[in-house]
Amino acid sequence: MTASNAGTRVDLKDVLGPAFYEPHRKIRSGAVEEAVLPGGRGSLKSSFCGAEVVLFILRNPDCHALVLRQVADTLRDSVYAQILWCIDKLGLGGSFRCTQSPMQCIYKPTGQRILFRGLDDPYKIKSIKLPFGYIGCLWFEEADQIKGGESAVRNVQQSALRGGAKALTLISFNPPASSRNWANRYARESRPGKLVHPTTYLQAPPEWLGPKFLSQADWLRQTKPTAYRHEYLGEAVGNGTQVFDNIRLESIDKKRIRTFGEIISGVDWGWYPDAFAFNRTWYDAGRRTLYIIDELTLNKLNNFETAAMIKRRIPQGEQIIADSAEPKSCADYRDAGLRCFEAVKGPGSVNQSMKWLQSLAAIVIDPDKCPDTAREFTEYEYETNKEGEAIQVYVDADNHHIDAVRYATNRIWLRRGT
C-alpha cells in the first residue's frame, strides 16, 4: 500500500494499521468529508489521523492542515509528536521542517503548513494567516474533552475550512463512560459524507503494541472487566446511572426484517413540546431479544395526519398498541383504518415494563432508521440523589420512544408479569 505526490512515493504499511486500510481508501477517493474515530487504548486511531493529515498535504498542494486539542499545553507531547512520528515513518523526514516556536511542520517542496492550536484560545485560531491557499484538513484529537462539543467543532470548521473545494475533518477520541457525552452522541449520528469507524487494540498488529501492553490489557480484562471494556474496547459503559446496559446498535436490513414474525407497533401520543412517538418492534422470545426497526418523531400533527403517515409505513392489519390515556386518539386511529388498541395499564405497570426491558438479553436498535430511539435508550439514566448516586426512579423525560416501545410490547411483558 503506497501513496505518491510530485514524484514522492511513501509506503503506508508501517503507519496504518490494517483496520484503517478501507477508511484510508475512502478518504483518498474523496468519499469522506468527516471521519469520526472512536477507539480504546492501542487502537491506532491517532496514528491513522496523523498519517491522513500528512497524506492530505501531499495530495493537495494548495491546502494546509490544522491540528487541535482543547488545551494548547498538551499539543507538543501528543499530536505534534504524533505528526513527527508519521513524517518519519513515511520516509519524509527530509521533506519537512518542523519547529516548536511557532509549532508547525512545513512541507519544504511547496511551503504547505501543518499548524497546531489549542481551543482554549479561540483568538489564535481566528488570527491564522497563511502565505497561500487555505486550510483544508482539520484534526480534533481527544475530541470528547472539547468544551462546547459539537458547536465548538462546527465553529472551527466554519472559520477554518474556507476558500477551497477540498476539505477533510478528523475527529478522534477515547469514548467517555457516559453515553450522553457529546462525542459518543455524535458518533451515533449519520449523514452523507460522514464516516464513523470505531476500533480497538484487538485489530492492531500485536507486535506494534508489544507484550507489556497486551499483558496489562489482559490483566484488566480478567480483574476489572467493566474498566477493560471502557479503556481498551472503547465502550460507553456508563457511570452507574444508566438504565439500559443491554443495547445493541446495528443495522437491520429489509432482508432480515422479512424473516421476523409478527411485528407490533407502539404509539406514545404527543403534540408539542412533547413529541408524538411511533415505533415498530419484533420480539424474538427464544433469544429474549427485542428488535426496534422503525420510528416516527413528530410535533404539531393531529391524529389523522399521523395515521396517514403510519399507514404508509406498515402493512395493512399490523397491530398498534397505544397509550390508553387518550382513548379518543385510539378511536381516531381505528376510524382511519388502523388496527389500534389501548395499552393495558395499572399500578406498577411502568416499573414492570421497564424491568422487563432491562432483563432482556438484548434490545437491538437500528441507529440509522431509529436515531431518536437509539439516543433515548442509550442516554436514559436513573434519577440521582445529592451525592450523584443512582436511585431506583425512572425519570419521566426524554423517554417518548421508550414509552412507545413499552406500549408495543405491552401484551408480552404483561403476560410474563402475571
- Please write the tens of the pLDDT for every residue from 21-46: 999 999 999 999 999 999 999 999 99
Beta bridge partners of 118: 69
Q: What is the structure's pLDDT at 417?
A: 47
Quick one: cell of 162? Answer: 474556507
| CA 171 distance to own-chain centroid | 11
Residues in the chain: 418
So which residues are the catalytic ones? 142
Mean pLDDT of 231-246: 85
Q: Do residues 15 and 89 touch, judged by C-beta distance below 8 A?
A: yes
Q: What is the structure's pLDDT at 11?
A: 67
Q: Check: CATH 3.10.129.10 for 247-417?
A: no
Mean pLDDT of 343-352: 89
Alpha-carbon distance 319 to 339, whole Å? 5
Mean pLDDT of 42-69: 95
Alpha-carbon distance 370 to 294, whole Å? 6
Q: Where are the domains of the chain?
A: 2-207, 247-417
For residue 393, what is the enclosing H or E element?
A: strand 390-394
Q: Do residues 10 and 91 touch, judged by C-beta distance below 8 A?
A: yes
Angle between helices 349-359 and 410-417 (to 10 degrees): 100
Mean pLDDT of 95-113: 95
Q: Cell 496514528, residue?
A: 47
Q: What is the structure's pLDDT at 347?
A: 85
Q: What is the structure's pLDDT at 2?
A: 59
Q: What is the structure's pLDDT at 287?
A: 94
Domains 2-207 and 247-417 share a fold: no
Reported as a pLDDT band with limits 50, 70 and 90, residue 418 is very low
Mean pLDDT of 99-122: 93
Exposure string of 180-200, with b = 16+ CB inside 10 Å and e = fewer, is bbbbbbbbbeeeeebbbbbbb
Q: What is the structure's pLDDT at 385?
A: 72
The answer on pLDDT for 374 being more than 90 is yes
pTM of the model as a whole: 0.75
- Per residue in 332-347, pLDDT (tens digit) is 999 999 999 999 988 8
Reported as a pLDDT band with limits 50, 70 and 90, residue 388 is low
Alpha-carbon torsion, ordered 129, 134, 137, 139, to 10 deg: 20
Q: What is the structure's pLDDT at 386?
A: 67
Assign domain 2-207 one CATH number from 3.40.50.1980, 3.40.50.300, 1.25.40.80, 3.30.300.130: 3.40.50.300
Q: What is the structure's pLDDT at 397?
A: 87
Q: What is the structure's pLDDT at 118?
A: 93
Q: What is the structure's pLDDT at 389?
A: 65
Q: Which residue has the higher pLDDT, 72 or 163?
A: 72
What phi and psi values does residue 204 have, to the nearest 5 degrees? -90, 150
Mean pLDDT of 172-196: 90
Q: What is the structure's pLDDT at 319?
A: 97
The answer on pLDDT for 132 being more than 60 is yes
Q: What is the structure's pLDDT at 313?
A: 95
- Per residue in 277-303, pLDDT (tens digit) is 999 999 999 999 999 999 999 999 999
Of 199, 239, 185, 130, which Cα lies nearest the Cα of 371? 185
Q: What is the structure's pLDDT at 9?
A: 59
Q: Do residues 379 and 184 touch, judged by C-beta distance below 8 A?
A: no
Mean pLDDT estimate for the chain: 91
Alpha-carbon torsion, ordered 82, 85, 90, 94, to 10 deg: 120
Of 69, 20, 74, which Cα lies nearest the Cα of 43? 20
Beta bridge partners of 277: 268, 297
Contacts of 228 (CB under 8 A, 6+ apart): 217, 220, 221
Contacts of 205 (CB under 8 A, 6+ apart): 17, 18
Q: What is the structure's pLDDT at 10?
A: 60
